[in-house]
């Protein structure tokens, strides 16, 4: 990234309007992505969030503490040049969505999955005309091609910046339907996260919590919440 260095060199990060949207300047110097693309984002709120991340850096710059900046970089460097491929990748989750695969046993787990997941699948069917089939066990279940195509059409409506946030919601949660429910306001991010972790929560209840696994889950949850926040900053 132009201006991206191991140590802070700027005094102030300032969000500003620019051609095509908004940018952030470091002492007047425009920020660029790692691919040297000028950082131009769609909303002032996003530019303000990015500027705040730069201003929060002290001494050594830590990109891992800059989720909005990193997501904006991904939108410009990764999603923009391969938008169709990203849409297809995300839509493919609909053909093997987490919510469609229920436990063969124990029955109490399968009932918990049904109670949590069936209403969201019903919502997708009503909202998009996309009724997905459900199975028990791990053997693949064939999904109606038209239903998957309708979900893909919803993904294709998103801008490159929305796709950057949406990608992480889908990939981290493992469900296209849950991610759609978040961006359409059907689920809050905390509720969607809990629904995506029904199996893991069950295992913890049965066998206790593993500290290393819990730490990894905490990192994933933060990333899931950051993806939702980034998506909200797009509009």
Of 37, 65, 93, the position where a domain reaches its end is 65
pTM summary value: 0.94
Residues 95 and 186 in one domain: yes
Tens-place pLDDT, residues 205-229: 999 999 999 999 999 999 999 999 9
> What CATH number did the domain enclosing 148 receive?
1.10.3580.10
* φ, ψ for residue 15, nearest 5 deg: -80, 140
Asked if pLDDT for residue 4 goes beyond 80, the answer is no
Residue 22 belongs to some domain of the structure:
yes
Inform me whether the pLDDT recorded for 1 exceeds 80: no
List helix spans (H) across 59-137. Answer: 67-74, 83-91, 107-128
Q: Which domain holds residue 133?
A: 82-233
User: Is the peptide bond between 106 and the residue preceding it cis, with omega within 30 degrees of 0?
Assistant: yes
Q: How many domains does the chain have?
A: 2
> What does the pLDDT look like over 18-68, one tens digit per residue?
999 999 999 999 999 999 999 999 999 999 999 999 999 998 889 999 999
In a domain, 18, yes or no: yes
pLDDT exceeds cutoff 80 at 6: no
Residues contacting 234, CB < 8 A, separation 6+: 42, 43, 46, 159, 161, 162, 165
> Same domain for 48 and 106?
no
Q: Do 26 and 134 reside in the same domain of the chain?
A: no
Mean pLDDT, rounded, of the chain: 95
- Distance between CA atoms of 195 and 172, rounded to whole angstroms? 12
What DSSP designation does 77 have? I
Which of 5, 38, 65 lies at the terminal end of a domain, its last residue? 65
**CATH code of the domain covering residue 27:** 3.30.2180.10
Same domain, 59 and 94: no
First to last CA, the chain: 25
């Amino acid at each position: 990234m132009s201006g991206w260095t191991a140590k802070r060199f700027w005094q102030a990060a300032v969000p500003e309007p620019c051609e095509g949207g908004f940018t952030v300047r470091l002492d007047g110097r425009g920020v660029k992505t790692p691919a040297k693309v000028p950082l131009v984002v769609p909303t002032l709120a996003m530019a303000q969030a990015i500027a705040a991340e730069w201003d929060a850096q002290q001494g050594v710059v830590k990109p891992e503490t800059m989720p909005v900046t990193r997501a904006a970089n991904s939108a410009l460097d990764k999603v923009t040049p391969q938008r169709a491929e990203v849409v297809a990748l995300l839509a493919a989750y609909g053909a093997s969505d987490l919510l469609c695969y229920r436990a063969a046993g124990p029955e109490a787990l399968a009932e918990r999955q049904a109670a949590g997941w069936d209403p969201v699948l019903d919502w997708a069917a009503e909202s998009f005309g996309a009724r997905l089939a459900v199975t028990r066990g791990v053997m693949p279940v064939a999904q109606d091609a038209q239903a998957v195509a309708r979900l893909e059409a919803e993904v294709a409506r998103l801008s490159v910046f929305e796709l950057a946030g949406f990608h992480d919601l889908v990939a981290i949660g493992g469900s296209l339907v849950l991610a759609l429910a978040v961006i359409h306001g059907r689920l809050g991010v905390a509720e969607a996260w809990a629904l995506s972790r029904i199996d893991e929560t069950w295992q913890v209840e049965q066998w206790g919590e593993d500290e290393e696994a819990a730490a990894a889950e905490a990192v994933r949850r933060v990333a899931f919440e950051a993806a939702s926040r980034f998506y909200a900053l797009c509009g």
